[in-house]
Amino acid sequence: MRKKFISSLKIFWPEFHKRKGNIHLEPFYTFTDYQHLWTMSIFVLALTALIPLCIVTLIHYQLIQKSVDSELRLRTERLTSNAKRSVAFFMEERLNALIFTVDEMGYDHLIDNKKLVEILKNLKHGFGGLSDLSVIDMGGNQIAYAGPFNLQGKNYKDQPWFAQGLKNKYFISEVFTGYRELPHIIIAVRSVKKDGSIFILRATLDTERLMQTLTSYKTGEYIDIFLVNNNGVLQTPSVHYGDIFTRTDLKTFNYSTRTEVSMSTCQGVPVILGHSFISTDTVVTPFILVVSKKKQDMMYAWLELRQKINWTVGISVILIVLVITFASTFMVNKLYQIDNAKAQTMLQMEQNQQLASIGQLAAGVAHEINNPLAVINQTAGYVKDLFSFKDEVRDDDEIIENIDSILEAVDRCGTITRQLLGFVRQFDIKIKKVRLKKIVADVLSFHKKESEYRGIHVTVDIPDTIPDMETDSGKLQQILVNLVNNAFQAVTEDGCLDIIGSQIDTETIELVIQDTGCGISEDSLAKIHEPFFSTKQDQMGTGLGLSITYGLVKKLGGNISVHSTEGVGTSFTITLPIKIQERELA
């Protein structure tokens, strides 16, 4: 399960991280820094995808914020305006009732206590909210009184409302406690007696009724509706600002008949404030109706929506990044694979090129060597002839023997140059029926003298049951020459060289060439098939032998593997098809 998970992560992790640097391939790569390519691809793609997303999200936020704000304003304005109209109507209604009473009844009627009680009863019945009624003369003396409090004979001369009442025809006071120690509002109507002196009909409004009216507009728990006076003192209790008569920090409002909405803060919390001055057609009241909404509470729905948007955006960002990483990894991987294949092909081409030019060089060398060899041959032959045909030295066997060995050496050189030429002409394809045993014997014959001289034990074990092969005998011979040469160079005196052939199946044979030589170190083992790798630099090795052999075996459609232990020996195992396919030689 865990493994499965980790392997599924690989689609996001590029292959080139585990690249083993092959120094020969490096120059052929089109891109050198895949890490950079990968990160840049992810970075650029992610930026192109994410920046518009972020911008759109921000714009969306702002739009919603704006519409929420204007919606809030509108609703507050409507509420304030409605509540104001109610309160104004409440006041106007009662004031008008008093005006009507004064105009209808006249002074004489009003100072009759019994009648005043009757009038209060009727007013209470008709409008409610009125707690008492009194008639006050110019001197502030209460002439008549109807109501629950015993206020008979009180003088109001020093009360602030009295002065106002005298000055204005109609008057509505702020909320105050007065003699009765209860918050109330005074409504006063000034009138003139028949004798021309002034009197005032005063009614007291209890705030209870007014507060009920206000409360009826509280549509939600976040809304606070209250009245303040011009000095910012609360005239009704407020949820946010405190109890009645608390001085608030509400800024003084400029008088306007219109309802206005503004943004403010209440104890550091942003609020939306709607306010409206309460006035009737006949009188201006000291009241300002205020609607206060805590913005945070009203924004709850919007905040919830924003959280949803945030989640959606967050998940989208993760998805985009994942998809981009996957796509980048896929593309860069493909690019890397293609580049790798290209580099390998180019390296191979370069190696082929090198081999071809070495081949041409070898051909030239072979050509040039052959002529002097022929001269040596003929000269040595002539010297031999001189001895053979002139009687006096004919029997000097030693000289003849030495000359014979020169001639033999020339023969061997000739053979080698012929082989070299044959090898250079790799493209001359000659498929012939060949007997493996015979080819091995031919190759070993070149080393017959050497093995005798150095005491190397050569064993050949190739059963006669192995069928004749149909292959390029020149190439096969060359493979064997190279491997046997190597073995001879590796073994010391009394060493062994075994050549063992066997048939694996109807189509394949196997040939093992093993020696008890010096072996190949592990480091070198990895490189022996690379052209120009040689450990025999001091012995003029070209580093081409095994590389060529490897190529030849591949051309014959076979495989070659090598096992070696330093100091113990080396064994090369070649498998070859018995019948070569034409196309494999092409």
Residue 347 burial by Cβ neighbours in a 10 Å radius (0-12, 13-18, 19+): middle
Return the range that interacts with another protein (CB under 8 A); candidates 96-104, 345-353, 373-381, 447-455. 373-381
Contact flag: residue 375 with another protein (CB under 8 A): yes
For residue 547, what are the CA distances in angstroms to 426, 544, 550? 14, 5, 5
Count of other CB atoms within 10 angstroms of residue 368: 11
Q: Nearest distance from residue 392's CB to another protein, in Å?
A: 15
Footprint (CB under 8 A) of another protein, residues 407-426? 410-411, 414, 418, 421, 425
Give 385 or 522: the residue with its C-beta nearer to another protein: 385
Give 141 or 379: the residue with its C-beta nearer to another protein: 379
Closest CA to 528 of 491, 487, 561: 561
Give 421 or 431: the residue with its C-beta nearer to another protein: 421
Return the range that interacts with another protein (CB under 8 A); candidates 271-279, 332-340, 342-350, 382-390. 382-390
Among 19, 367, 432, 448, contact with another protein (rule: CB under 8 A) = 367
Return the range that interacts with another protein (CB under 8 A); candidates 183-191, 227-235, 371-379, 396-404. 371-379
Q: Rg for the chain (alpha carbons), in Å?
A: 60
Contact flag: residue 403 with another protein (CB under 8 A): no
Give 100 or 382: the residue with its C-beta nearer to another protein: 382
Return the range that interacts with another protein (CB under 8 A); candidates 39-47, 51-59, 300-308, 360-368. 360-368
Count of other CB atoms within 10 angstroms of residue 215: 10
Footprint (CB under 8 A) of another protein, residues 273-292? none
Contact flag: residue 377 with another protein (CB under 8 A): yes
Among 7, 257, 371, 506, contact with another protein (rule: CB under 8 A) = 371
Question: How does DSSP assign 40-109, residue by residue?
Answer: HHHHHHHHHHHHHHHHHHHHHHHHHHHHHHHHHHHHHHHHHHHHHHHHHHHHHHHHHHHHHHHHHHHHHH
Contact flag: residue 432 with another protein (CB under 8 A): no
Helix (H, G, I), strand (E, B) or coil at 354: helix
The tokens for 188 are 């006063």
Q: Nearest distance from residue 432's CB to another protein, in Å?
A: 13
CA 54, CA 65: separation in Å to the nearest integer? 16
Among 7, 150, 254, 389, contact with another protein (rule: CB under 8 A) = 389
Taking the CA atoms of residue 123, residue 129, residue 135 and residue 137 in that order, the dihedral angle to the nearest 10 degrees is -140
Taking the CA atoms of residue 259, residue 261, residue 265 and residue 271 in that order, the dihedral angle to the nearest 10 degrees is 110
CA 471, CA 478: separation in Å to the nearest integer? 13
CA 547, CA 529: separation in Å to the nearest integer? 4
Contact flag: residue 379 with another protein (CB under 8 A): yes
Q: Binding residues for another protein, how many (CB under 8 A)?
A: 23
Give 155 or 388: the residue with its C-beta nearer to another protein: 388
Q: Nearest distance from residue 351's CB to another protein, in Å?
A: 25
Long-range pairs, 378-383, Cβ under 8 A, ≥24? 380/406, 380/407, 380/410, 381/407
Q: Which residues bind another protein (CB under 8 A)?
A: 363, 366-367, 370-371, 373-375, 377-379, 381-382, 385-386, 389, 410-411, 414, 418, 421, 425, 428
